[in-house]
Amino acid sequence: MQLLSPTEGLKESTREIVVTESWTMISFDFSSSGMIADFSQLNLVFDANSELVGPYYIDNLSQGETTVDACEGVEADPLVVDDFECQRNLAIVGGEGDIEVAPNPDISAGNQSGVVGKYTEPEGNWAAVVWSNDAEIDLSVFNQLNVKIWSPSAVPILFKLEGGDGAQEVRMEVVETETWVNYSVDFSESAGKGHTRLVVFMNAGEEPTVGEVYYIDDMSFGLPPFETCIVDFEGEAGAAFNPTGWTYFANGTYADSTINVIANPAPDTVNMSESVGRFVESTGVGDGSDNVRPFAGVFLRGDTPINFTDPDNQTISMDIWMDHEASVVFKLENGLGGPATNTGDVMAQYTTPNEWQTVTWNYNTFPNDQYKTISLILDFDNIPMEDKEYYFDNIRVGGTSCAADSMITSIFTFEEIPALLVSPNPAQEFIQIESPEAYDRVIIRDARGVMISGRQDQFDANSQIDIKDLHNGIYFLQTVDRQGVINGHAKFIKH
């Protein structure tokens, strides 16, 4: 749908028709153009990029309040309990009057979500919030509960699984106050016991401080720390050892791409795996103007830490196939000290062109810091004359194996959505969004978490957004791709 304003030009909103040969209600969101008062023409354009000919039928065209759901099209992630945004997958059946969605009071490296859960402590020593699932919570693989908590004071927290055969309780203490802290709770002993409810007690068993406010966010089930295999690219995308979410950096035209899983192009005695990861390195002009750098690489963020169980063998090995000798960097990041904690560029040499080689990196001089992010540079300090394809596989810890009979089930899980750069900030009329990938929708919420704009368009990675119609204040922005997945966020100020 297009609305034409003589003073502001054409404003568009695009919606997908997913039901054919049947009447369906479609809403177009023009809330971002609410201040424009001289729209004089409305256009409906069906299947704009197709040569197909109708007919199409329309009826009951009317104007009303915004009804477009910001979470429309977002597929439920069965591992997420509640992120207080689009992944609210277990129903709150206890303490629902004490918890509400509210703006994040502390947007920081610890938690960059725009909205979170706000829990106000009521009367009662054992007041709690209860999340319930219709069926048994599957703990066969993903049995570590991860939850972010912002607490104003040092209090005990009790996590409980119930509804099945013998409840399990895990008691923890707030380790830091007035900051976001991620707590990981081991519920592995409850696997297969039929539990359907998760209960969280803040200030558990203590005299309540009525009215005290705690914040909770990003509750999800993950895996135990990696102690053997990390990635082997076998199975369906997103299955154990075949994570999605690889992101290129400094790699030119491939910045919007990801690692593809393909059949092993050259099986041999070093690597007989069926599937491997393919890394494509872009050629470039050499001055960086095309975003191609001699440190082009790829990274994978996760919530599951890498744990070196042998302090004398803190190494990581990986199988590599390239067509030339190269220096290869394997960097570990996001350790116990936070996102900035890293090992720096640890380098090893690939020396067997056109053959698989097991390359090993040594981290014995670093603390076992439970790193959660890996970064790879497969051809360090070089820009090829033409695009190059390299292959890698079987990333494992401490000299262990990715063979099926030696692995502990584990997988990289997703970390929070990347933060975007917005400029200028503060701004008056327009903001420029610098995103690593294109997006289909921009959602803007006010400081209360209320959506006030949901503009849909075909945005490139560096788009300008009109904010003249916004009142002065703090706003939270999210970008959404064509599949309905939130792929970026930012905070900005209108003044």
Q: Output the tens digit of pLDDT for each of the chain's 495 residues.
A: 899 887 777 888 888 887 888 898 888 888 777 778 888 889 998 887 676 677 889 999 988 776 556 677 788 889 999 999 999 999 999 999 999 999 999 998 788 898 999 999 999 999 999 999 999 999 988 899 999 999 999 999 999 999 999 999 999 999 899 999 989 899 999 999 999 999 999 999 999 999 999 999 999 998 788 889 999 998 877 666 778 889 999 998 887 678 999 999 999 999 999 999 999 999 999 888 888 999 999 999 877 889 898 888 899 999 999 999 999 999 999 887 666 788 999 999 999 999 999 999 999 888 888 898 999 999 999 999 999 999 999 999 988 999 764 443 333 333 346 778 888 988 889 888 888 777 777 878 765 555 676 665 556 667 888 888 888 877 877 777 766 566 778 888 888
383 and 454 fall within a common domain? no
Tokens representing residue 468 in the block: 């003249």
Beta bridge partners of residue 441, listed in sequence order: 456, 480
Would 137 be classed as within a structural domain? yes
Would you say the pTM of this structure is higher than 0.85? no
d(CA 225, CA 336): 13
Would 58 be classed as within a structural domain? no
User: CA-based angle 106:111:117, to the nearest 5?
Assistant: 75
432 and 333 fall within a common domain? no
Would 307 be classed as within a structural domain? yes
Would 39 be classed as within a structural domain? no
257 and 337 fall within a common domain? yes
310 and 400 fall within a common domain? yes
Would 263 be classed as within a structural domain? yes
235 and 380 fall within a common domain? yes
Would 244 be classed as within a structural domain? yes
Would 110 be classed as within a structural domain? yes
326 and 248 fall within a common domain? yes
350 and 270 fall within a common domain? yes
Q: Give the residue from 379, 406, 433 where a domain finishes.
A: 406
Res 411: pLDDT: 34
258 and 379 fall within a common domain? yes
- The CATH number that applies at residue 120 is 2.60.120.260
Q: Is 168:143 a contact under the CB 8 Å cutoff?
A: no
399 and 427 fall within a common domain? no
Res 277: pLDDT: 96
Tokens representing residue 493 in the block: 């100020």
Res 189: pLDDT: 94
Q: Is 33:469 a contact under the CB 8 Å cutoff?
A: yes
Collect all residues with Cβ–Cβ distance below 8 Å to 50 and sequence separation of at least 6.
none
Render the burial of 454-471: b for 16+ CB within 10 Å, e for the rest. bbbeebebebebebebbe
d(CA 332, CA 364): 13
Look up tokens 């209320």; give the residue.
Answer: 450
pLDDT tens-digit map of 333-371 = 988 766 678 899 999 999 999 999 999 999 988 888 889
Render the burial of 9-30: b for 16+ CB within 10 Å, e for the rest. eebbbeeeeeeeeeeeeeebbb
Q: Give the residue from 356, 380, 406 where a domain finishes.
A: 406
Q: How many domains does the chain have?
A: 3
425 and 389 fall within a common domain? no
Q: Is 38:6 a contact under the CB 8 Å cutoff?
A: yes
Would 294 be classed as within a structural domain? yes
Q: Is 460:477 a contact under the CB 8 Å cutoff?
A: no
- For the chain, the residue count is 495
396 and 431 fall within a common domain? no
- The CATH number that applies at residue 451 is 2.60.40.3080
Q: Which domain holds residue 127?
A: 80-222
Collect all residues with Cβ–Cβ distance below 8 Å to 314 and sequence separation of at least 6.
308, 362, 363, 364, 366, 368, 398
Q: Is 360:321 a contact under the CB 8 Å cutoff?
A: no
Q: Give the residue from 198, 222, 246 where a domain finishes.
A: 222
208 and 238 fall within a common domain? no
